[in-house]
Each structure stands twice: as structure tokens, then as C-alpha cells.
Amino acid sequence: MSDNTNDQEIKKENSNKKSDKKNKQKGPIRLEAIIPVVVVILAVFLYFKFLFDSNLKSALEFGGTQVHGAEVNISKIESSFFGAYFHLYGLAITNKEKPTHNLLEIGQIKFQLVWDALLRAKFVVEKASIENILVASKRAKVGYVVPPTPPGEEPSGANKALKEVESKVLEQAKGDFDQNVLGDIANILGGTNSDDQLNKITSELKSEKRINEIQKALDEKKLLWDKRIKELPNQKELNKINTQIKKLKFNTKNPKQFANDLKTLDKIIKDADRQIKLVNSTGKGLNKDINGLNASIKEIEALVNKDINDLQKRFKIPQIDTKGFSKKLFGKMFQERIAGYAKYIEMGKKYMPPKKTASEKQPDLIPSKRQNGRNYNFSRKKGYPLFWLKHAKISSKAEKSEFGGDLTGELTNLTSSPTTLGIPTIFTLKGDFPNQNIFGIDANLTLDHTKDEAVDTLSTSIKSFPLGYKKLSSSDSVEFAIREAHGRSEIKGVMKDSKIQITAKNYFTKLKYDIASNNKDIKEVLTNVVNGMPLVTIVSEATGSWSDIKWNINSNLGSELSKGFKKQLQAKIDEARKKIKDYVDNKINAEREKLTGEFSKVKSEIDNKISKSKKQVTSAKNKATKDLNKNKAKNKAKKNLEKKGKKALEDLKKKFKF
């Protein structure tokens, strides 16, 4: 019993101790929060120490791959918050067209950031270095190429806008740059029967469709016009006017009757005026309709030409003119390069925005959650843009590396806010890649986004470089490609706002070709032309906006090939064209003539009716006006006579002093 009591007491004592502990007054500092805070700080520190660099590397690799369109690799990233530096090693950018090789490989990029700017949440790189540049180096593993977006599907993510710019350029002149010109020539020379193809056409021609539409419109208009003409004053109404005029007596002996007749005649004239106006307005309305229809009929000629051109394209009848030929041979090569530039230029504009125009500065119509107050600006002694790379030195030594280059260059004032800085970004690069036989690289790029209108200028030249395999035309029947050559290149470009003007001049010597064709004539022409050309020049020009680029490509190779093929082909092409023209003419001529004939007939009928009606009404009005004037004069003379008589009488009365 006593044991039980003791146990209970001990339990009670323990419980009281626990309760005392629980109720013990706690100090003002939340000591129990120290451990979680330390744990969080430690976790953040450990993440940045061990994981941040690898996560940043993966993020940059993924983003770079999506933007560039082919695999981008980074060997290592080293960054330090306290040391304020960022080092990137082994940047390798895969060549999209040749994924076994890199487009560019950079050994190391080092950025030293400024702490003073970091404390203001700005990233300012005082000095940077880019070293060990390799071009076209072989990759250890074939690079991944981002597949093109399937047709009908929209590209996703941040990459979307860049893809759109690229595809906007690539979609243009797709037909002109199809690289199949020699195949089409082979078809013509091979004697593809265009009669058979023409017989297979079952669809309606554009011009034919339009003729039917105009015929229908003419039928509808005819009914309307008839109705409006019927509303014009007819002979019966005009006779009525004449009868009314004849009824008027203009009896001067009866002044009241005379005045009434004058009033009636005035009314008749006003009626006639109204009818003339009606005739005029009806005439104008009908003429407008007729002119509209006439313009539509004239359109038919243009549609006939379009039909003929469409059919020529459908039957792949090639253009054997110099410019067209050069475009087909070299256009795609140039276009793909421009599309690549477009993407990066647009990206540059996004991250280095020029000054905003007044309309862009307009704030969005979104009410702020709380009032914004007023920001007072005190004089700023130190201000930085969000990102500013002041100076980056580019240096590279080829040494024994197969793909390395002896390069020197610099990149200055690359910033996210060029307008704040007011200095344009300038990039220069000079050097050679001796082991790859690339000599005399001289590139100058200026990105001036400091003003309202962004101006980018590019001037690049390479004195000598080897050209690898370049396919110029490919089809089942003809293969034509440059196997190897030595090239010299000059590219000059200006982009003001969104308008570009890029000129690329390429000169190739020591050319070797791959020519294969199942058509003897084509092979002969190609071989003869290329054998007689020690130098091939290609001058390409692209002008306009990204969505509407005017391409101009001239090449002596294109010109000579077109001349060579012209001799053999012109007769056959002319024959095919004539067949197409005849086909179109036969199909639409009868209907066109019927329409134009009917239109002319209707037009002349309307013209006659309107002019006749106008003549009749005018004549009736003139007669009435003449009568009115005559009677008014008569009335006036009479009144004058009466006045004079009265005055004479008054004078007589005064004389005889009545």
C-alpha cells in the first residue's frame, strides 16, 4: 500500500517537473529557430558549393541547344558568389548541317564580375577572356540536332519567336530556290509530253472561274439597269409637259391670268430640272457600274497570264534566264545563311533593346494594385545596366591543333541596356586557321542600339578558305555539285530597325565538280561550261524586311549554264509554253468573247437610252424656259408702257393745273 502511495507521489512529482519545464518562461529570442535557420543557410551554401555549377551547366546546355537548333555542350562551369567570377570551359556548338563536327569550340571563357555592381543587383564584367577557339573540330560523339517542328504544329517555349523568324525567311521564295532546275531541264529534254499532262487537268482555271462570275454579275446588273432606265421620264411624260405648255395663254389683257400662267410655266421648268437631274444621276450610277464591270473584264487578261504561269510551274518548265538560273543554283545556300543570321539578330534586339518609341512607351492599361507614388532621383554617381560586359579579349593560338586558330579580337560594351550606356557594342576578330587553310579572317560587327532606331553593321572578309562539298542541284536525273574549291568571301550587311541589306560576294577558284546525269546532253553542257570557267563568282543580295526579302543572286556560272542550255532548250520550252497558252485560250476564249460582246452591247444600249432621255428632257425644258422668258419680257414691256402712260397723264394734269 505504502509502495503504491510512493509510486503515485513520484509520478506526480515527475508530472509537475514536466509541467514546470513546459511553463518555464521563454526568453525574447526564438532560440529554437536557430537550428532550422542554420540548416537552411547550410543547405543553400552546400547547394551553391556543389550543385549550382552543374545545374547551371545543364540549363545553359539545354537553352543553347534549343536556341541554336543543335547540341551545345559545356565541359565545366566554375562560379563563385564571393569570388564574383564565372568560368566556362569547353564550349562546343554542333554544326547543324554536319553533326559529326562542331561549328565552333571555345576552350575557356572567363568573366570577372564587379562586386560594387553585384551589390546593386547588376552584373558588370570588367574584363573577360575568350581563349582557344577551334572551328569545325570533330566531335567525340555525333551531336543531337533539334528536329524541325512538324507542319501544322507550333514551336513551343522561348524558342518559338526565334524559330518563327528563321522559318519566315526560309519560307520565302521556296519555289525559286528548289535546287531542282537541272532536273526540270532533263525532263524537258527527255521529252515529257505536255499534251498528256494538259489533258489530265480537270480543275477550273482561275480566269475561267472569273469569267463565269462576271457573266453572272452582268446578268444580275442587266435586270437592275433595265429597272432604273424604266424609271426615267418617258415620251408620254414629255408630251404631257408640252401639252401643259401649250395650254398656257399668256393673255396680257388679263393680268391675273397672265401671272398664273407665268407661275405654272415656272413650275413646269422646275419639274423638268428635276427630271434632268434624275436622268443625270441615273446615268452616273450606271456608268459607275459599267466601269466597275469593265475593270473586272480587264482583270481577265492578268488572270490568263497567271494561269499560264501556274501551268508552267506545274509542268516544271524552267526559266532559262541568267538571274533565275543563278537563284535556283545558289539561292538556298545564301537563304539558309541569312535565316541563321536573322535568328541571332532578333535575339540581339530582344536582349539589347533600342530606345522605345513614344507609342511603345505608353503604359499598359492595367491599374496598379496600390498607388505608385513618386520616385525621386538623386544625382547618380555610379549607375550600371543590368548586364554590361565592358571588355572581352579574344585570343587563340593554333599551335599543333588541327582545328585551332591564331586569332585576336575583342568584344566591347555588350550590354542589356545600350540606351543607358550610350555606347555601341563592337566586335572585332582577326586571324587565321592555318591548319584548315583558312586565312585572312577580318570580321567587324557593330551593334548600335543606343538610339530610337537600332543599326547593326557587319563587315566580314575571308581572304582564302577551302570549300567542301556543296550540292547545287539534285534530282533523280541530274546531280551537280562542287566537290572542292578555294574561296574568297566578302560579306557586308546593314540592318536598320527591321530592314536589312546584306551583300555577299564569293569568289571560287580551283574548282572540282561532281557531275552525273542520265541525259547525255545535260552532262555535256554542264561539263563544257564548268571546264571553261576557272573562276566562279556569286554575288548575292538580300534587301527588305525579314518577312519580305528581295533576293538578287548573280553568278557567272548560272549565267553561262543558262546560255548553254538556252540553245538546246529554248525551242522545246517555247513549244511547251505555246501549248499551255493555246490550252488556256481555247478553254476561255469563247466565253471571254461572249462576255465582252454582251457587255459592249449592253453598254451601248444604256448609253443610247440615257443620252436620248437626256436630250428629250433638256429640249422640253429649253422650250419652256424660252416661253417663260418671252412672256416675261412681254409683261415687262406692257408694264413699262402703262407706267409711261400714267406718268404722261400726271404731267398733263400738272400742266393744266387740275
Residues that bind another protein (CB under 8 A): 26-30, 33, 37, 116, 119-121, 370-382
To the nearest whole angstrom, how small is the minimum distance from the Cβ of residue 369 to another protein? Answer: 9
Which residue's CB is nearer to another protein, number 120 or number 505?
A: 120
Query: What distance in Å separates the CA atoms of residue 612 and residue 120, rounded to the nearest whole number?
Result: 89
Helix (H) or strand (E) holding 446: strand 438-448
* CB 503, CB 493: distance < 8 Å: yes
Which residue's CB is nearer to another protein, number 28 or number 152?
A: 28
Helix (H) or strand (E) holding 247: helix 235-247
To the nearest whole angstrom, how small is the minimum distance from the Cβ of residue 29 to another protein? Answer: 6
To the nearest whole angstrom, how small is the minimum distance from the Cβ of residue 110 to another protein? Answer: 24
Which residue's CB is nearer to another protein, number 378 or number 658?
A: 378
Which residue's CB is nearer to another protein, number 82 or number 656?
A: 82
Coil/strand/helix, residue 315: coil
HEC per residue, 544-566: EECCEEEEEEEEHHHHHHHHHHH
Which residue's CB is nearer to another protein, number 417 or number 506?
A: 417
Which residue's CB is nearer to another protein, number 203 or number 377?
A: 377
To the nearest whole angstrom, how small is the minimum distance from the Cβ of residue 37 to another protein? Answer: 7
For 17, other C-beta atoms within 10 Å of its C-beta total 10
To the nearest whole angstrom, how small is the minimum distance from the Cβ of residue 28 to another protein? Answer: 5
Q: Which of 134, 186, 27, 223 is nearest to 522 (CA)?
A: 186
To the nearest whole angstrom, how small is the minimum distance from the Cβ of residue 434 to another protein? Answer: 48
To the nearest whole angstrom, how small is the minimum distance from the Cβ of residue 134 to another protein? Answer: 40
To the nearest whole angstrom, how small is the minimum distance from the Cβ of residue 158 to another protein? Answer: 26
Q: What grid cell was written down for 159?
A: 524558342
To the nearest whole angstrom, how small is the minimum distance from the Cβ of residue 169 to another protein? Answer: 43
Which residue's CB is nearer to another protein, number 28 or number 191?
A: 28
To the nearest whole angstrom, how small is the minimum distance from the Cβ of residue 144 to another protein? Answer: 41
Which residue's CB is nearer to another protein, number 376 or number 469?
A: 376
Residues paired with 87 in a beta bridge: 78, 110
Q: Which of 162, 491, 493, 494 is nearest to 342 (CA)?
A: 162
Query: What distance in Å separates the CA atoms of residue 133 and residue 104, rounded to the nearest whole number?
Result: 7
* CB 566, CB 519: distance < 8 Å: no
To the nearest whole angstrom, how small is the minimum distance from the Cβ of residue 363 to another protein? Answer: 17
Which residue's CB is nearer to another protein, number 37 or number 516?
A: 37
- CB-count burial class (<10 Å; 0-12, 13-18, 19+) for 318: buried
To the nearest whole angstrom, how small is the minimum distance from the Cβ of residue 42 to another protein? Answer: 16
Which residue's CB is nearer to another protein, number 298 or number 380?
A: 380
Coil/strand/helix, residue 502: strand
Q: Which of 428, 390, 523, 407 is nearest to 133 (CA)?
A: 407
- C-alpha pair distances (Å), 165 with each of 145, 150, 345, 491: 19, 16, 10, 21
Spatial CB neighbours of 106, under 8 Å, sequence gap ≥ 6: 90, 91, 130, 131, 132, 133, 134
Which residue's CB is nearer to another protein, number 2 or number 379?
A: 379
Q: What grid cell was written down for 265?
A: 410655266
Which residue's CB is nearer to another protein, number 42 or number 302?
A: 42
To the nearest whole angstrom, how small is the minimum distance from the Cβ of residue 32 to another protein? Answer: 10
Query: What distance in Å separates the CA atoms of residue 383 and residue 124, rounded to the nearest whole number?
Result: 11
HEC per residue, 145-206: ECCCCCCCCCCCCCHHHHHHHHHHHHHCCCCCCCCCHHHHHHHHHHCCCHHHHHHHCCCCCH
Distance in angstroms between the alpha carbons of the first and the last residue of the chain = 174
Q: What grid cell was written down for 202?
A: 480537270
Which residue's CB is nearer to another protein, number 115 or number 144?
A: 115
